[in-house]
């Protein structure tokens, strides 16, 4: 029964459906089997509370993982930045495809750039990480902004700008690109200004650890460089003992000489949400050749950050 449809578990949001649809096409290509989307509602989708209050990490993932473990779906697609850093033994991330643009962007009224926003501009974000770095950047450049906590899907968030309630909102470039709304971006925030969330822009394709045939098929969609980079970023996050509601940014860049990738630079930042105190460090070295090597790189940078007082800046973390 090799032509039997594979069942892909996905959240119901427009973004989740778009990215799951793209993965479904790719999986269908490599397996020769049709793929059907199975929509699953998660706690993070129905709760009206702020993400930081409901525990942040895992709220979009648990229902999908439950469906996998019950055999209701064959595999699931997650935004990697939503995945908790501890991986359950019964499940395996079979593929991390090539990463989309990891940067944060703003959608502002009147097509304004970030630095052109007027004094007192109200900028919406649901992320303590973005809030911390926006406030720190504004403080160091003499800008007067107010970061406003918001929730909701892309339409809701951009709606706050269109209605005049906010001057701008911060979103992930990857999400807007995946739903075909990249043209609404008014400014890309350089990773030198705002480091993205660990794993931002990357997807994780997860299935049960016992499904060897599917693991082998999905592995064809894996991008080794993306996987090494996000492994280092998530290792940093885990070593800082921070969930995705903590104000931690991290990005691993691959530094190339022409076509040859020579080194990897891992950057990390943690700060108080008002932007008054930040610990930001980076390390550069050979590209790790193994999972363990990438994990070690993240742990080493986290240890340096903790030595500089990072732990005291994560008061918002969910316990």
In degrees to the nearest 10, what's the CA dihedral of 105, 176, 201, 71? 150
CA distance 146 to 277: 17
Among 65, 81, 103, 317, which one carries the catalytic annotation? 81
Among 151, 265, 277, 299, which one carries the catalytic annotation? 151
Residue 235, both tokens: 């290792």
CA distance 9 to 15: 14
Among 11, 65, 157, 181, which one carries the catalytic annotation? 157
Among 65, 99, 103, 129, which one carries the catalytic annotation? 129
Whole-number Cα distances in Å, 222 to 34, 57, 195, 230, 294: 20, 23, 24, 12, 16
| Antiparallel, parallel or unpaired: β 145-149 and 121-125 | parallel
Q: Which strand (E) or helix (H) includes residue 77?
A: strand 75-79
CA distance 74 to 91: 11
Based on the residue annotation, tell me whether 7 is a catalytic residue of this protein.
Answer: no
Beta bridge mates, 7: 36
Among 65, 74, 82, 181, which one carries the catalytic annotation? 82
Among 130, 178, 181, 234, which one carries the catalytic annotation? 130
Based on the residue annotation, tell me whether 155 is a catalytic residue of this protein.
Answer: no
Please spell the DSSP secondary structure of 175-233, one letter per residue: HHHHTT-GGG--EEEPTTT-PPPTTTT-EEEEEETT-HHHHHHHGGG--HHHHHHHHHH
Based on the residue annotation, tell me whether 81 is a catalytic residue of this protein.
Answer: yes
Based on the residue annotation, tell me whether 244 is a catalytic residue of this protein.
Answer: yes
- Residues marked active site are found at 81-82, 129-130, 151, 157, 244
């Amino acid at each position: 029964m090799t032509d039997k449809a594979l069942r892909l578990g996905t959240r119901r949001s427009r973004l989740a459906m778009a990215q799951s649809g793209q993965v479904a096409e790719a999986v269908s290509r490599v397996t020769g089997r049709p793929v059907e989307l199975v929509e699953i509602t998660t706690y993070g989708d129905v709760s009206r509370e702020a993400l930081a209050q409901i525990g942040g990490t895992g709220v979009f993932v648990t229902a999908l993982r439950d469906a996998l473990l019950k055999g209701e779906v064959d595999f699931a697609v997650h935004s990697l930045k939503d995945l908790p850093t501890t991986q359950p033994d019964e499940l395996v991330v079979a593929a991390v495809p090539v990463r989309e643009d990891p940067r944060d962007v703003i959608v502002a009224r009147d097509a304004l750039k970030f630095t052109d926003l007027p004094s007192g501009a109200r900028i919406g974000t649901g992320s303590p990480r973005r809030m911390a770095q926006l406030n720190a950047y504004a403080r160091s450049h003499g800008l007067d902004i107010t970061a406003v906590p918001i929730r909701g899907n892309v339409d809701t968030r951009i709606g706050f700008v269109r209605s005049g309630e906010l001057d701008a909102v911060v979103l992930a470039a990857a999400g807007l690109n995946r739903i075909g709304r990249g043209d609404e971006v008014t400014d890309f925030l350089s990773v030198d200004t705002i480091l993205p969330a660990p794993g931002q822009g990357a997807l994780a394709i997860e299935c049960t650890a016992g499904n060897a045939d599917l693991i082998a098929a999905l592995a064809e969609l894996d991008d080794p460089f993306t996987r090494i980079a996000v492994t280092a970023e998530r290792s940093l996050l885990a070593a800082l003992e921070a969930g995705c509601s903590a104000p931690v940014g991290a990005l691993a860049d691959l530094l190339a000489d022409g076509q040859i990738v020579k080194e990897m630079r891992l950057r990390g930042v943690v700060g108080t949400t008002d932007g008054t105190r930040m610990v930001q460090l980076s390390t550069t070295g050979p590209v790790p050749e193994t999972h363990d090597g990438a994990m070690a790189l993240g742990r080493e940078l986290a240890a340096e950050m903790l030595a500089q007082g990072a732990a005291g800046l994560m008061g918002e973390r969910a316990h």
